[in-house]
Every structure is written in C-alpha cells, then in structure tokens.
Structure 1
Amino acid sequence: MNVLSNNILHVAAATLTVAAVLTSCETDLKEVDRIAAIQAEEPVDISQGVTVVYSDSAKVKARMTAPEMRHYNVKEPYYEFQKGVTIIFFDDIGKETQRITSDYAIQKEVQELTEFRGNVVITRADGSIIKTEELIYDQKANIFYNHVSIEAYFKDGRGNFMGSSFQSDGNFENIEVQNSTGLYIFEEGQGPTFR
C-alpha cells in the first residue's frame, strides 16, 4: 500500500470518527433540549418511594410515606401526592396515636394547608376509625375539618355515628360533628335519664 492510499484511509477514518461524535453530540443535545422543555412546561421535582420524618426537640412527631411526591416550584409552591399518602402520628414517648391514609393529598406551603382526598381513613390508637372523602388540615390553627359526610366507628362497639361535616383539634380528641346521627350503646348506669 502506498503512502497516498494510507493517508486517504487515515483521513477517511478521522472524518467518520468526527461525524460519529458530532451525531452523538447532536442526539445528546436534542435529549437535553427535550428534558428542558418538559421542565419549562411543568416546573416539578418528582421523588419516588418517599419517607419523611417530622420531629420537634429530637422527638419524632410524625412519619409520612408515599409512593411518589411531586414538588411544584411555582409562585405558591406545593407538594402533591397523586398516588396516595400515609401519615403516622406519635406521642412524646414514640407511641402511635393515629394515622391518616388517603388516595391523594396536596400540601400548600404558603397557605399552610394540607388536603387529603379519596378514601380518607383516620385510625386512632384505640382502634376507632373515621372515614370520609375529604380532610383538610390547617397547620396555623392546628385543626382538621371537612365539608363532606363523615362516618365514625368505635372499636369498643359502643356506637357509630355519621354527620354532614366535622371539625377537630389536631389530636382528634375534641370532634364536633354537624348534623350527626348515630347509635350509641350506654352501659348500665350511664346515659340520659328519662322520667
């Protein structure tokens, strides 16, 4: 093989290498542009398999788990849990006091409101269960409330009730139910006196 043929082969090989690199860079740049366009349309950070622990003075107060958490970086930022959420609350000695599960939740940072929607279930440590389709937590006032029907079941079998809406303190100890109806079984010597 002569020197001219050898040089032509080197030039051809170099040209193919440069063309391959440029094509690869162009593909990578197109992918970067595509991802940037998605982020520009929807400024969101998505996390999978999330566990968040809330503590105060080195004591765990609550633990939240969710299959997916979306944080929207907009003027009024918020977190969205499109695939459901579970929050477990603990007392000062680490014992579970209650838990909330729902199919969907949204936490609005500026308003300090968290809304739970779809199959919302509140389970108390004593086994009592409250079911509803909507639950709103006002962090500033430390109250839970809703505007839709609610059902409550007491584990001890002493009764159940339903209502059109409710409001409660943050520990679900003082619950006010609007338009309530229900069944309550009194033990002997308890309850109202009829004369």
Structure 2
Amino acid sequence: MSAPNEKIFLFAVAALCSVLMFAACETDLKEVDRIAAIQAEEPVDISLGVTVIYSDSAKVKAKMSAPEMRHYNVEEPYYEFQKGVTIIFYDENGLESQRITSDYAIQKELQELTEFRGNVVITRADGSIIKTEELIHDQKANTFYNHVPIEAYFKDGRGNFMGSSFHSDGNFENIEVQNSTGLYIFEDGEGPAFR
C-alpha cells in the first residue's frame, strides 16, 4: 500500500473508531439518563410481605398485612397497597372486633385518610358482613364513609340491607345508610303488630 493510501486508510479507520466510541458513549449516557428519569418519576420504597402492628399503652389495637407496600416520598407522601390489604382490629381484651379486606388501598399521610377500593369487605366479630367497592377512613375523626352502593348481611342470616352510601363511627356500631332498602325475617312473636 502506498504512503498516501495508507494515510487515508488509517484516517478512515481512526474516524470510524471515533464514531463508534462516540455512539457507544451516547447510548450509555442515554441509558443512564433513562434510569435517572425513572427514579425521579417514582421516588418509591417498596416492601414485600408487610405486617404492621398498631398498639397503644402496650395493647395491640390493629394489625395490617399486605403482600406489597409502596411508600411514595413526594411532596404529599402516601402509602399504596396495589396487591391488596387486610386490617384486623382488636378490642380492649385483645379479641378481634372487625377486619377490613380490599383489593387495593392508599393511605394519604398529610390528609390522614385511607381509601380502600375493590371488593371491600368488613367482617364484624358477630359475623355481620358489609360489602362495598369503596371505603374511606378519616383517621382524625375516626369515621368511615363511602359514596357508592353498600350491602350488609346480618350475622344470623335473618336479613340484609342495601344503600347508596353510608357513614359510620370507627367501630361500625352507629351506621347511617342513605337510601336504604332491606329485608328482615321476623320470627314468631317478633316485629310490628298490624291491626
């Protein structure tokens, strides 16, 4: 190979190597930027197989368990339970008083609100069951409410009721149901007297 051709060849090889190295660096930098953007978009801590015990004066008040818990460290932080959650409440004697299960939940820290969504089931210790697609717990007021239909089934199978929404105290003892309809089966000697 003559000297001028050899110089052109070496220059071409050097130029090609430079282009390849620049392209490789650019690809790597794009990947780094992509990963950084994902982390910036989702400042989240993920915990698997979570169990949290809530206690007061050394007495267990509630136990929450979930297959996955996500904590988003944003301006208004929140916890998200994308794979469902179960919360068991205990009375002063340490016995289960009620439990709530749902397919999804979100707890908004600053607002002190927890929203349960999808197949929400409240089971009372006496066997009564309340079913709905939405349940909101106001932690400050210790109340539960919703804005969607609700169904409730009495413990002994003697009746049930439905409503368009409801509001309740934290123990589900004083429940106000809006637009309610129901069925109750009276035994002999029970119920109103008709004349």
Instruction: Kindly provide the amino acid, as one letter, of the partner of residue 42 in structure 1.
Output: E
Structure 2 counterpart of 1:133: 133
| SS state at 1:66 partner | strand
**Matching of residues 67-106 of structure 1 within 5 Å:** 67-106=67-106
Asked whether 1:169 is paired with 2:162, we answer: no
State the distance in 2 between where 1:33 and 1:45 align: 20
Instruction: Kindly provide the amino acid, as one letter, of the partner of residue 169 in structure 1.
Output: D
TM-score, L = length of structure 1 = 0.81
Instruction: Kindly provide the amino acid, as one letter, of the partner of residue 91 in structure 2.
Output: D
Instruction: Kindly provide the amino acid, as one letter, of the partner of residue 103 in structure 1.
Output: D
Q: Deviations 1:142-185 (Å, cap 9, x if unpaired)?
A: 11000000011112122111111111110011111111111112
Any unmatched runs of 5+ in structure 2? 1-28
Runs of 4+ deviating beyond 6 Å: 29-34
Q: Aligned residues: percent identity?
A: 89
Q: Paired residues, what number?
A: 167
Structure 2 counterpart of 1:52: 52
State the distance in 2 between where 1:59 and 1:36 align: 44
TM-score, L = length of structure 2 = 0.81
Structure 1 counterpart of 2:113: 113
RMSD of aligned Cα (Å):
1.8
Q: Deviations 1:60-92 (Å, cap 9, x if unpaired)?
A: 000000000000111111000000000000001
Structure 2 counterpart of 1:123: 123
State the distance in 1 between where 2:194 and 2:96 align: 40
State the distance in 1 between where 2:99 and 2:32 align: 42
